Structure 1
Amino acid sequence: MSENVGTATVIVDKTANAAPLGFTGLGLAAVLLSLSYIGVYPVESMIVSMAIFLGGFAQVFAGIMCWKKGDVFAGTAFSAFGLFWFSLAGLLIMPAIGWAEASSGTAMAAYLFIWGVYTFVMLIVTMKIGIRALQFVFVTLFLLFILLAVVNATGSTGLLVIAGYVGLVMGLGALYTALGMVMNEIHGKTVIPL
């Protein structure tokens, strides 16, 4: 929307904060995937669907909207992690439909480790941002990626359950962050500390 003020045109940004959408996508997809690591149910179509539509699309949409608002951190983080979820779904779907061989444990360990490295660098950036809830999500996400890399390298089922609980805590932290942002914005004050 634009308004003419004298001879200048002022553009007013009326778009909402997209970060709660991104954290919601991350949180819901992570909680449900982590429950499969804990052993509540196997990885099946519900996980793939959540990876694509909530983990993937919700975060990529949030990333694009944040990028448009000039938030380079949120734009980059949500877009990258949304594409992670798409790639994870691809790793599950492509072998099932015969498009590619299933990845080896070593390949999956490398995949998860490099995402852990990326997450660690983004975690360092969150220290400058200073939002504790955001830092918590990135610390637990980093731990999750490293634990899952070790699980895939070693085949340790006990460590997979621990990773599941770390992922569950991370996902719940992301949901807390999303809902806190929404509540605080709706109330116009800090109702839920972030």
Structure 2
Amino acid sequence: MAEAQEVVTDVNIKDKTANPTPLGFTGLGLAAVLLSLSYIGLYPVDSMVVSMAIFLGGFAQVFAGIMAWKKGSVFGGTAFCAFGLFWFSFAGLLLMPALGWIEGPEPLALAAYLFLWGVYTFIMLIATLKLGSKAIMFIFVTLFLLFMLLAVINGTGNTGLLVIAGYVGLIMGLSALYTALGEVLNDAYGRTVVPI
């Protein structure tokens, strides 16, 4: 009777999945720009903003987070999933009271919500210092400032700061779009076309 031979094979699987960062920052950027323009006063927060919050801010970032997690990126997976879920919760804060499901949040409760997101963003900002991307670091600096401004506005009732918050959000959203589109162009050309 022949002895069974042990066969050892070494299989190397090359990761051919795409970089999820452009999708995540596109979702953040588009949703943030459109919401920020409402803070500046160009139009009210309506179904366009809520729809962008759900489908681009929410779904795009959660999908990007899952893709980043699959690629082994703890930062990307955590950041995109958490901030994608932020957009879903933001839409819920607007929709649930409008549908009569529950009362809207008190200003102090909303201030606490925004402050906590600001603290979370600050910790994520510290992590960006090790990523080596000035563009991503800038996004998190401006996002932190935005959350803190919105927390102060809701906590104090000082709505005069809302336009300033709108411009900070606009800068943050545009920087996220810059990063997303820069990643796409750099990948398409196979070299650094846009510094990130």
Pairwise TM-score range, normalised by the shorter structure: over 0.9
1:192 matched residue in structure 2: 194
**Residue 112 of structure 2 is aligned with which of 110, 113, 125?**
110
Q: Distance in 1 between matches of 2:104 and 2:132?
A: 40
| 1:22 maps onto 2:15 in alignment | no
Q: Distance in 1 between matches of 2:58 and 2:168?
A: 20
1:144 matched residue in structure 2: 146
4+ long deviations beyond 2 Å = none
Aligned Cα root-mean-square deviation (Å): 0.8
Q: Which has the higher strand share?
A: 1
| 1:38 maps onto 2:30 in alignment | no
Q: Distance in 2 between matches of 1:135 and 1:9?
A: 37
Q: Distance in 2 between matches of 1:7 and 1:135?
A: 43
**Residue 160 of structure 1 is aligned with which of 153, 159, 162?**
162
2:4 matched residue in structure 1: none
Shift of 1:13: 1.2
Shift of 1:141: 0.2
In structure 1, the gaps of 5 or more residues are 1-5
Q: How does 1:1-16 map to 2 (within 5 A)?
A: 7-16=9-18
Map Cα deviations across residues 89-123 of structure 1 (whole Å, 9 max, x no partner): 00000001111101010000000000000000000
Shift of 1:7: 2.3
Shift of 1:161: 0.5
Map Cα deviations across residues 13-64 of structure 1 (whole Å, 9 max, x no partner): 1100001000000000000000000000000000100000000000000000
Larger radius of gyration: 2
Q: In percent, how many aligned pairs have the same letter?
A: 75
TM-score by length of 1: 0.96
Q: Distance in 2 between matches of 1:157 and 1:87?
A: 22
Amino acid paired to 1:24: T
TM-score by length of 2: 0.95
Q: Distance in 2 between matches of 1:10 and 1:128?
A: 28
1:48 matched residue in structure 2: 50
1:3 matched residue in structure 2: none
Shift of 1:179: 0.4
Q: Distance in 1 between matches of 2:11 and 2:172?
A: 44
SS at match of 2:15: coil
1:130 matched residue in structure 2: 132
In structure 2, the gaps of 5 or more residues are 1-7
